[in-house]
């Protein structure tokens, strides 16, 4: 139906929602900038914003405050990359499995990547980021396949609860194996004990720079998958009827998710609950349209990770809590509430 303005009424109804969601993205971008600034200036050694700006404009390695700012800037960049990667990976995994509990941490994907990296370091002497990122990809992909196969066994196929339970079991086994490898190699344990709990501390440019292109490539690819995920959310038969090549769409989405998970784990170690948090928060604002869920998750992920990193520095001064610990403390109650209040038929 067309009104006197000549604009279809359905289009007029969609316009306010589009403006609202676009404004929300702009607000999130500002929030990302805010938490990034906090990540640079807040720490065990507080530094004024003016000093931080001076360090970014005219860095002088001879000034102690400038060196601290440089280290925190790289740490903040790592948080931006990890948050974006894990936020998008959680959405992609929920989209292809239609599982509201899907998360790279809960399904063991991050644990698989972490175990592969630890083995690469302890058994093969790999020491460079570009060296062990491939192990992270392989570990993430292998565990993703194992979890899906195990969750598909028995009556009913790969239901969300069965896949989540399979992921939890595989994750627990991999965490135990990772710990065993570290305890038998004191050098590896000393070097990577903070990495294995999920941390942004101590990340330097030599680690972040080689892995950033993998995250950027995964982010760009993920943002183009909105239409495919919308079709998959309607069911395989409907998606096929709409012209979607279901198998190819799932395979491409899974590969992108693995690249994002592997890259994030190679940077910061295994971090749980980011994808779970971000996907559900994005849906609360955007509804079920993945064309909006994905860009919202791209911004919500860094906000969550950097906010948790800053919180860990504030509540444990003069030390700090690792970001993986903070997110686990926040994520566990969220998971319980999610399982408690969602209808069982949805799980």
Show the tokens assigned to 321: 């809590």
Q: Could you report the per-residue pLDDT of 86-112, keeping only the tens digit for each?
A: 999 999 999 988 888 788 888 889 999
SS3 8: strand
**Residue 226: inside a domain:** yes
Report H helices in the chain.
Answer: 9-41, 49-57, 64-97, 109-124, 129-152, 160-183, 186-192, 205-223, 226-232, 236-241, 246-268, 274-286, 290-315, 323-341
**Residue 3: inside a domain:** no
**Count: domains in the chain:** 1
Q: What is the mean pLDDT of residues 287-305?
A: 96
Show the tokens assigned to 50: 């003016």
**Residue 201: inside a domain:** yes
**Residue 184: inside a domain:** yes
Q: What is the mean pLDDT of residues 5-19?
A: 59
Q: Could you report the per-residue pLDDT of 45-73, keeping only the tens digit for each?
A: 778 878 888 887 888 888 888 888 889 99
Tokens 């344990």 belong to 189
Q: Tell me the pTM.
A: 0.88
Q: Between the CA of residue 126 and those of 12, 36, 131, 132, 213, what are the distances in Å?
A: 58, 31, 6, 6, 20
Q: Could you report the per-residue pLDDT of 193-217, keeping only the tens digit for each?
A: 666 778 888 888 888 999 999 999 9
CATH code (residue 70): 1.10.3470.10
**Residue 311: inside a domain:** yes
Tokens 């390695």 belong to 61
Q: Between the CA of residue 83 and those of 28, 80, 95, 263, 275, what are the distances in Å?
A: 13, 5, 18, 11, 9
Q: Which residues contact 335 (CB under 8 A, 6 or more apart)?
A: 101, 106, 273, 276
At residue 319, does pLDDT exceed 90?
no
Domain of residue 110 covers 9-346
Residue predicted with more confidence, 186 or 151: 151
């Amino acid at each position: 139906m067309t009104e006197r303005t000549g604009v279809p009424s359905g289009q007029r109804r969609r316009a306010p929602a589009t403006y609202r969601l676009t404004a929300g993205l702009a607000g999130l971008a500002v929030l990302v900038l805010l938490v990034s600034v906090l990540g640079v200036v807040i720490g065990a050694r507080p530094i004024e914003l003016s000093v931080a700006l001076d360090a970014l404009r005219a860095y002088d390695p001879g000034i102690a405050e400038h060196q601290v700012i440089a280290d925190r800037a790289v740490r903040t960049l790592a948080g931006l990359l990890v948050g974006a990667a894990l936020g998008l990976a959680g959405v992609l995994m929920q989209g292809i499995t239609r599982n509201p509990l899907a998360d790279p941490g809960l399904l063991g994907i991050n644990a698989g990547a972490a175990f592969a990296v630890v083995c690469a370091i302890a058994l093969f002497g790999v020491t460079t980021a570009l060296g062990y990122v491939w192990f992270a990809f392989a570990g993430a992909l292998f565990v993703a396949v194992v979890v899906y196969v195990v969750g598909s066994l028995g009556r009913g196929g790969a239901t969300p609860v069965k896949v989540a339970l399979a992921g939890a079991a595989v994750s627990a086994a991999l965490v135990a194996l990772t710990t065993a490898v570290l305890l038998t190699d004191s050098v590896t344990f000393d070097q990577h004990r903070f990495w294995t709990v999920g941390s942004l501390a101590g990340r330097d440019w030599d680690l972040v720079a080689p892995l950033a292109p993998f995250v950027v490539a995964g982010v760009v690819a993920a943002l183009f998958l909105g239409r495919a995920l919308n079709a998959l959310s309607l069911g395989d038969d409907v998606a096929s009827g709409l012209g979607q090549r279901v198998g190819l769409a799932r395979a491409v989405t899974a590969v992108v998710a693995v690249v994002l998970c592997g890259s994030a784990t190679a940077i910061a170690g295994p971090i749980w609950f980011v994808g779970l948090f971000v996907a559900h928060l994005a849906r609360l604002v955007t509804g079920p349209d993945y064309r909006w869920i994905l860009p919202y998750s791209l911004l919500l992920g860094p906000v969550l990770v950097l906010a948790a990193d800053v919180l860990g520095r504030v509540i444990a001064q003069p030390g700090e809590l690792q970001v993986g610990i903070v997110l686990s403390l926040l994520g566990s109650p969220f998971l319980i509430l999610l399982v408690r209040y969602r209808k069982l038929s949805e799980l």
